[in-house]
Amino acid sequence: MSSTTQSGKRIVFTGGSGKAGRHVIPYLLAKGHKVLNLDLLPFPDPAAAVYTLKTDLTDSGQVFNALTSHFDMRGYEAGPVPGPPDVVIHFAAYARNMLVPDSELFQANVRSTYNVVEAASKLGVKKIIIASSETVYGVCFAQGDAQYHSFPLDEEYDVDPEDSYALSKICGEKTARTFARRFKSDIYALRIGNVIEPHEYARDFPAFIEDPASRKRNAWSYIDARDLGQICDLAIGKSGLGFQVFNATNDTITIKDNLTTKEFLEKECPGTKFTREMGANEAPLSNRKIREVLGYKDVHDWRKYL
């Protein structure tokens, strides 16, 4: 497969106009990659060097076609008809419950993920990254005050959500595993935490700290949208792992410093077991695996911005 430079890759990114993508794509561009955005809405920054191809991902024909598209109009002057990209990153989805009826959310999310993974695999793409979600741990969209089974929440946790959004993400993970096995490719599913944009620290985090119970559904964890860009870039650079699930979160718990993570969780979730010792300020939604396997380093700790 071709690449734009010795290190840069040709990346098709779905859903790049959304909350996460609008920060991840600029990070990838800064790393020397070339990106085509598949979305129903234009990329929000007109100055960014990214072209948006309006694509309905629930239509498999459109997906196959889009994955062999030019990356912009200059492609008509730049040589042969394009082949498939080096990498596909699939973030497009209904982003939560209550945007559309549950049945529409489920079928659209599952179908689009299937279409993207199938098309990329059959076109020979060997690196695919898909967006899963913190919601698969079963508390975020649970009815009432649900409890976690154990801490920390890691990739070996027995996920058992009760909502349609999280279920669609589990189906996406299983789809990825199926195609990675069949095509002997690398497909990494990122269980993305609560995405925080730069302007949201000053706006939202003071309230989070004063009302820690409000953060239980997010496991008192988060991911800075720019650090999510780093995770995607690291995933592009790490090959040979087959199918993998990675929690995509920052390092630290979003509480005041007067309690350790374990002390806080023992108070908020009495009786919930711990499967290992936890760091003093470690986020309950553990990112240990991305640190140890991908080499992720937390850059945008929330404490820097308050």
5 lies in some domain: no
Q: Which CATH number does the domain housing residue 109 bear?
A: 3.40.50.720
Please give the Cα distance from 35 to 49 (Å, whole number).
Answer: 8
Q: What's the pLDDT score for residue 79?
A: 78
Torsion sign (Cα): 262, 263, 269, 273:
positive
pLDDT at 2: 36
Contact assessment for residue 23 and residue 226, using Cβ atoms and an 8 Å cutoff: yes
Pairing of strands 127-133, 87-90: parallel
Domain count, the chain: 1
Determine the pLDDT at residue 78. Answer: 80
pLDDT of residue 7: 73
In a domain, 277, yes or no: no
Q: Are 161 and 136 in contact (CB under 8 A)?
A: yes
> What is the model's pLDDT at position 84?
96
Q: Would residue 45 count as lying in a domain?
A: yes
- pLDDT given for residue 256 in this prediction: 86
Tell me whether residue 209 is in a domain.
no
Q: Is residue 258 part of a domain?
A: no
CA 147 from chain centre, in angstroms, equals: 24
Integer Cα distance of 256 and 240 in angstroms: 40
pLDDT tens, per residue, the chain with 306 residues: 333 334 799 999 999 999 999 999 999 999 999 999 999 999 999 888 899 999 999 999 999 999 999 999 999 998 787 899 999 999 999 999 999 999 999 999 999 999 999 999 999 999 999 999 999 999 999 999 999 999 999 999 999 999 999 999 999 999 999 999 999 999 999 999 999 999 999 999 999 999 999 999 999 999 999 999 999 999 999 999 999 999 999 999 999 878 999 999 999 999 999 999 999 999 999 999 999 999 999 999 999 998
Question: Is 146 within a domain?
Answer: yes
- Residue 257: what pLDDT? 75
Asked whether residue 91 is domain-assigned, the answer is: yes
The whole-angstrom separation of Cα 40 and Cα 44 is 12
What is the residue range of 179's domain? 10-199+221-251+285-300
Write down the pLDDT at residue 3: 36
d(CA 78, CA 8): 17
Can you tell me the distance from the alpha carbon of 238 to that of 234, in angstroms, rounded to the nearest whole number? 6
Q: Three-state secondary structure along 79-148?
A: CCCCCCCCEEEECCCCCCCCCCCHHHHHHHHHHHHHHHHHHHHHCCCCEEEEEEEHHHHCCCCCCCCCCC
| pTM of the shown model | 0.96
Is 216 part of any domain?
Answer: no
The pLDDT of residue 4: 37
Q: Determine the pLDDT at residue 5.
A: 37
What pLDDT sits at residue 245?
A: 98
